[in-house]
């Protein structure tokens, strides 16, 4: 869409956002950089800056990609109206085509399905959208400035997707009184009389738009000398980045900066100024390029202080090998809900964004294969019996959300050490299954998400090694924190199977509620005292969950390893 100028805050009037403004301007000069990823809390002017940038571009287009968008909405698809009316095949452009020569804005990009993000970043880097589906082969230009925003507390992007974003900027809350006052004064002035405010900044706006135009024309005239290449290689090696994309992006960004500043040559100083935004999201800290698992354990990526967690001393980790995730009891299989629950679920599903077909079982069905549907229809009016669906692909690996009790009672008898060893083995098993994992730790009156949902890796041990223990057992708080993690994962990938693994001795007086978004629950009981309270078994019965004592589980794993 084309922006309504009177509602757009001028880019030149933004206050206290210099790193973000610079990154956006560089992406506007050279959209092939791959876009800008902006992280930070709410209320830090992320969307305001994105809309302001669009106004500086020739077409002034600003397109928002909603979280509920389908693949067809993004890349384009068959024009259904034309196909049904004329029987012909005609391409209907998607959001990528509409954003051509403008800005494509994705709020909470970390909550988009990974395949959609992958396609989005592919087109952002290449500038071309190619559609091969439903018997259609279509190709069109899609050169736009991609701006993605995310709040890290809502979940992370896979490293492979992070690497595809050209630049990254991290915004924080402003605690400098004078800057906060300037921001508020500017916003109030704009809200009071937007036209007068925009007129005061019209000359600066025009100058910025002209600089972007001139810089684009200047790009082809600038080349890199050996000193620039050498500095780029040095910085990327020091950051231990994977692959060579960082080198290429850094060179492009340095060239865009030199062009924007009307420099006659690209200098090392240009590289230094943009290095942080290129490497911030690609840097591998606390890890050697060729590390083994044992080295990763010996060199964790952060201290306990960096984790922001309370434990006084890290607890040793016991070793448990070859863990096989438990199969749920038959009683855990999904039961048919009653009429009221079924009706409520259907109402919720019907309220979801268009682009999905909902079955009576409440699952998102396969997308329609329109070419096969038209062949089945032939010359007859389209009816439900003519509709054909594509074969349903995999819905993605399961998510294992582990909730670890780090309270003082878990320190007795080295329970926490055993739990950590079991956790490492479970992470390793999840890696082999290509599953996603999340980790919540609770103890001492606090609960904390130590690992947001993401793909498991072979070096998962370094997530566990720094964990210590102490304090009370806020079991209900830990479960509620995990429930929030699962709820966000459910919104991002509704069809994903979500497991909750609760590792605890159950020595608490509070009784948590079962997380609604957990498809399957496993409670591992670490109570080993002579007099046992049996609270884990009671909780498993109340939740209709899979129950196992830690010792029996470890014994079962060892038997599995021996092939018994």
Chain centroid, CA 19 distance in Å: 22
Task: For the chain, state the CA radius of gyration.
Answer: 27
Residue 468: closest CA among 514, 511, 406: 406
Helix 46-56 vs helix 202-218: crossing angle, to nearest 10: 70
* Catalytic entry in 216, 245, 283, 388: 245
Element (H, E) at 22: helix 18-29
User: CA-CA distance, 526 to 413, in Å (whole number)?
Assistant: 10
Residues in the chain: 564
In the β-sheet with 103-106, what is the strand arrangement from edge to edge?
62-64, 103-106, 145-150, 36-39, 167-170
In the annotation, is 245 catalytic?
yes
User: CA-CA distance, 454 to 157, in Å (whole number)?
Assistant: 7
Phi, psi of 514 (to 5 degrees): -70, 130
Contacts of 346 (CB under 8 A, 6+ apart): 358, 360, 362
559, burial (CB in 10 Å: exposed 0-12, middle 13-18, buried 19+): exposed
CB atoms within 10 A of CB 319: 11
User: CA-CA distance, 423 to 464, in Å (whole number)?
Assistant: 8
User: CA-CA distance, 224 to 33, in Å (whole number)?
Assistant: 16
User: CA-CA distance, 75 to 398, in Å (whole number)?
Assistant: 27
Quickly list DSSP for 283-315.
---S--TT--HHHHHHS-SS-HHHHT---SSBP
Phi, psi of 63 (to 5 degrees): -120, 130
- Cβ pair 418, 551 in contact under 8 A: no
Residue 536: closest CA among 551, 548, 554: 548
Q: What's the per-residue H, E or C state across 152-215?
A: HHHCCCCHHHHCCCCEEEECCCCCCHHHHHHHHHHHHHHHHCHHHHHHHCHHHHHHHHHHHHHH
- 518 SS3 class: coil
User: CA-CA distance, 500 to 518, in Å (whole number)?
Assistant: 6
Could you give the residue numbers annotated as active site? Answer: 245
């Amino acid at each position: 869409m084309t922006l309504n100028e009177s509602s757009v805050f001028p880019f030149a009037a933004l206050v206290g956002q210099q790193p973000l403004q610079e990154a956006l301007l560089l992406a506007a000069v050279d959209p092939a950089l791959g876009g800008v990823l902006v992280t930070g809390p709410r209320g830090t002017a992320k969307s305001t800056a994105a809309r302001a940038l669009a106004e500086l571009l020739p077409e002034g287009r600003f397109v928002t990609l909603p979280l509920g968008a389908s693949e067809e909405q993004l890349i384009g698809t068959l024009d259904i109206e034309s196909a049904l009316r004329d029987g012909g095949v005609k391409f209907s452009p998607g959001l990528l085509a509409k954003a051509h020569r403008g800005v494509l804005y994705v709020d909470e990009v970390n909550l988009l399905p990974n395949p959609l993000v992958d396609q989005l970043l592919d087109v952002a880097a290449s500038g071309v959208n190619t559609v091969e589906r439903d018997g259609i082969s279509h190709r069109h230009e899609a050169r736009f400035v991609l701006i993605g925003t995310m709040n890290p507390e809502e979940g992370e992007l896979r490293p492979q997707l992070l690497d595809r974003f050209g630049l990254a900027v991290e915004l924080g809350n402003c605690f400098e009184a004078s800057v906060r006052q300037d921001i508020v004064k500017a916003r109030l002035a704009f809200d009071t009389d937007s036209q007068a405010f925009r007129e005061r900044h019209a000359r600066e706006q025009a100058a910025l738009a002209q600089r972007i135009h001139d810089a684009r024309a200047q790009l082809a005239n600038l080349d890199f000398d050996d000193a620039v290449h050498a500095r780029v290689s040095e910085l990327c090696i020091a950051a231990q980045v994977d692959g060579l994309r960082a080198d290429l992006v850094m060179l492009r960004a340095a060239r865009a900066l030199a062009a924007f500043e009307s420099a006659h040559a690209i200098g090392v100083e240009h590289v230094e100024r943009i290095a942080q935004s290129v490497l911030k999201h690609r840097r591998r800290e606390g890890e050697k390029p060729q590390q083994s698992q044992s080295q990763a354990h010996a060199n964790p990526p952060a201290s306990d202080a960096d984790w922001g967690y309370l434990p006084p001393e890290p607890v040793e980790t016991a070793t448990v090998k070859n863990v096989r995730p438990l199969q749920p009891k038959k009683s855990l299989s999904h039961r048919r809900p009653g009429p009221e629950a079924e009706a409520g679920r259907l109402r919720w599903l019907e309220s979801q964004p268009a682009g999905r077909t909902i079955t009576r079982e409440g699952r998102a069905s396969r997308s329609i294969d329109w070419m096969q549907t038209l062949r089945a229809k032939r010359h007859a009016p389209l009816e439900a019996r003519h509709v054909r669906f594509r074969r349903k692909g995999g819905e993605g690996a399961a998510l294992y959300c582990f909730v670890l009790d780090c309270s003082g009672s878990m320190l007795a008898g080295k329970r926490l050490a055993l739990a950590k060893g079991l956790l490492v083995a479970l992470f390793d098993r999840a890696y082999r299954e290509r599953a996603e994992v999340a980790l919540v730790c609770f103890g001492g009156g606090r609960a904390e998400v130590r690992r947001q949902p993401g793909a498991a890796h072979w070096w998962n041990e370094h997530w566990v090694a720094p964990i210590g223990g102490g304090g009370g057992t806020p079991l209900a708080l830990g479960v509620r924190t995990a429930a929030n993690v699962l709820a966000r994962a459910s919104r991002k990938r509704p069809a994903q199977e979500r497991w909750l693994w609760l590792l605890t001795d159950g020595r608490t007086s509070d009784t948590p509620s079962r997380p609604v978004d957990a498809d399957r629950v496993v409670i591992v009981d670490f109570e080993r005292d002579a007099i046992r309270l049996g609270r884990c078994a009671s909780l498993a019965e109340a939740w209709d969950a899979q129950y196992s004592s830690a010792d029996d589980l470890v014994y079962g794993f060892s038997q599995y390893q021996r092939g018994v």
